[in-house]
Amino acid sequence: MTPILLSLVIVVLLLIYLNTFRLPKNFPPGPKNFPIWGGYYQVLWENLNLPYRTFHAMAKRYKTNVVGLFLGNFKVVVACDLDTCREVLLKPEFQGRVDAFVPRLRGDGDLLGIIFSEGPLWQEQRRFMLRNMRDFGFGKRSDSLEHDLQEEVQDLIDLIRKGNTEVCKDRIAQIPELLYAINANMAIQIYSGDRKPLAEAHEFGFVMAEQAKVIDATTGALNITPWMRHFFPKQVGYTVTKHATKYAKRFVDSLISNHKEKLSDETSNDFIDRYIHEMNNRIYRGDEYNSFSERQLQVIGLDMLFAASTTIPFMTAFILLLLTKYKEVQRKCQEEIDQVVGQGRLPTLQDRQFLPYCEATIREAMRYQTLAPLGVPHKALEDTTLGGYFIPKGTMVLTSLYSAHRDEKVWDEPDKFMPERFIDSDGKIIRKDMTVPFGLGKRVCAGETFARQNIFVQMTGLLQNFDLDVPAQCRLPDLSENVSGISESPKPFQLKFTDRLYKKKI
Ligand code: HEM
């Protein structure tokens, strides 16, 4: 190559680079951007295991509440304190979703479902889902849901007592695996009215959990550089994602086709029935705008079953981990349960208001260990501002819920685990909740109530029946060893469950 040609190539490459990573005036400060991954190199360099923690550190370093950078070709800003996260979550112009590879893979090329859709489709489908699932106990207190939940928790307790499997043997259980089947079944039941045998529900939960771990909370290499899947399918998480998506679609399709076979005019016994009726009615009426389709029903199923089968077991696992680490908190929760509920029956959702210390422990665990540390990426639907910075239309907007929960302006000693911070001088739970583990506003987690109810009943049921300890020759993992993902999970660990001898006390 002649020197002139070489110089020309260099100039062209430089121009492409400068053009790709050109930032508008008053864009938030952040790391330097380099070809292909933009600022992602530095994010990973500073914390390869838990990259979201880099944003928290960067915000302090740049003395800012918003960090700005490129992730691949995506222009990205990250809100890094409680006020700025609230601004993102509550301003209408930030309620878009990012058009990326994995969401399109789930929708066979389209952005479907609830989690990754936007605009009129999202609004109509979210409203329909919440309104109809409420009738089956999703998002409110319901006797039938409570009954199902109690049965699942009782099965879990029996499994711990009698279990002789790889997941639980001699009262030593693998966490979070122990919790996969119960939580997958609770979600399958709400969506389809069905319940699967233990082994099948466990397998479903296991595959979903593996998927949650490979989608990085920063949206990951697969979303920012999807072409890399052709060269490094395993490393960028494509192998697992492709397999898990195919597996989950087959699973959901079989639930739907069972319903289609049985569907009669009167039946509306579960969400799938309701959805198919609505879809058929709209076709019959010939509605001009119709976001209802069987593909949409399938992706709502993926959203729900994926969310419930990963987030609830992961969060409950973190709570068990913290209760084992902080023994005095475990003891105080047990004392409260003994006083209020006793041992004749399992704790119920009606007991929640009378168990403030247990509630405070769950709230503090969800603050201290933010399950979705960067939430789900939002998108600016128009040119706007955030924390005083200019944010162009189309920018990906991340909420560092982790930073909101460690914000020194809001929390005393934020790095300490202290359930007492949520108890007032009368021993009651503090009404005003400044935690945001589920986000806020129009995009707030659709499963918040369901998740809180499940976590409460599982945690209190287990504590009522067992003392939690570390088995001999084992150690509890540190939170810095967590497995990163769209929802974070603890490094798998073993827990010893010892029966509490209630009868002796009576
Ligand atoms: C501890 C458990 C859970 C946590 C911490 C959690 C957290 C979150 C967060 C942070 C978001 C993003 C909000 C935003 O966009 O700003 C979200 C969205 C969502 N979650 Fe959850 N979630 C949990 C459980 C569940 C469950 C059990 C379900 C369903 C069964 C669910 C369904 C959804 C859906 C559908 C969305 C998308 C909402 C929308 O975009 O309109 N989540 N969740």
368 φ, ψ to 5°? -65, -40
> What is the residue-averaged pLDDT of the chain?
92
ipTM exceeding cut-off 0.95 for this assembly: yes
**Position 112 pLDDT exceeds 50:** yes
Q: What is the largest CA-CA distance in the chain?
A: 93
The residues that bridge with 499 in the sheet, in sequence order, are 466
What integer is the mean pLDDT of 332-361?
A: 96
Tokens encoding 446: 């659709």
* Residues placed in the known binding site for heme: 445
In a domain, 256, yes or no: yes
CA 380 – ligand 1 centroid, Å: 19
In a domain, 448, yes or no: yes
In a domain, 506, yes or no: no
CATH of the domain at 186: 1.10.630.10
- Structurally, how many domains does the chain consist of? 1
In a domain, 223, yes or no: yes
Residue 370 · residue 83 · CB < 8 Å: no
Distances (CA, A) of 8 to 2, 5, 11: 10, 5, 5
In a domain, 230, yes or no: yes
More confident residue, 17 or 72: 72
pLDDT at 376: 95
CA quadruple 448, 439, 175, 457: dihedral positive or negative?
negative
CA 35 – CA 41 distance, rounded (Å): 10
Of the listed ranges 49-58, 133-142, 235-244, 414-423, the least confidently predicted one is: 133-142
Q: How does strand 384-386 pair with strand 389-391? A: antiparallel
Q: Which residue, judged by its Cα, is nearest atom 23 of ligand 1?
A: 311
Spatial neighbors of 436 by CB under 8 A, at least 6 apart, are 82, 85, 86, 89, 399, 401, 404, 405
Domain that holds residue 68: 3-499
Model confidence at 506, pLDDT cuts 50, 70, 90, reads very low
CA 104 – CA 117 distance, rounded (Å): 10
In a domain, 504, yes or no: no
Q: Which residue, judged by its Cα, is nearest atom 18 of ligand 1?
A: 445
Which of 85, 271, 369, 445 for mutating ligand 1's site (highest number of atoms within 8 Å of CB)?
445
Q: Kind and range of the H or E element at 495?
A: strand 493-499
CA 93 – ligand 1 centroid, Å: 20
CA 40 – ligand 1 centroid, Å: 25
What integer is the mean pLDDT of 160-167?
A: 88
C-beta atoms surrounding 66 within 10 Å = 28
CA 250 – ligand 1 centroid, Å: 23
More confident residue, 477 or 270: 477
With a Cβ cut-off of 6 Å, ligand 1 is lined by: 89, 114-115, 126, 187, 303-304, 307-308, 311-312, 315, 371-372, 375-376, 437-439, 443, 445-447, 450-451
In a domain, 9, yes or no: yes
* Residues placed in the known binding site: 445
pLDDT tens readout for residues 189-204: 889 988 899 999 999 9
Tokens encoding 353: 């208001």
- Select from 474, 448, 300, 456 the least CA-distant residue to 371: 448
Q: Which residue, judged by its Cα, is nearest atom 25 of ligand 1?
A: 447
pLDDT tens readout for residues 467-505: 999 999 899 999 999 999 889 999 999 999 999 965 444
DSSP string, 73-85: TEEEEEE-SHHHH
CA 20 – ligand 1 centroid, Å: 33
Check: pTM over 0.90? Answer yes or no.
Answer: yes
CA 496 – ligand 1 centroid, Å: 31
Spatial neighbors of 175 by CB under 8 A, at least 6 apart, are 317, 320, 321, 490, 492, 493, 494, 495
What integer is the mean pLDDT of 272-277?
A: 91
In a domain, 505, yes or no: no
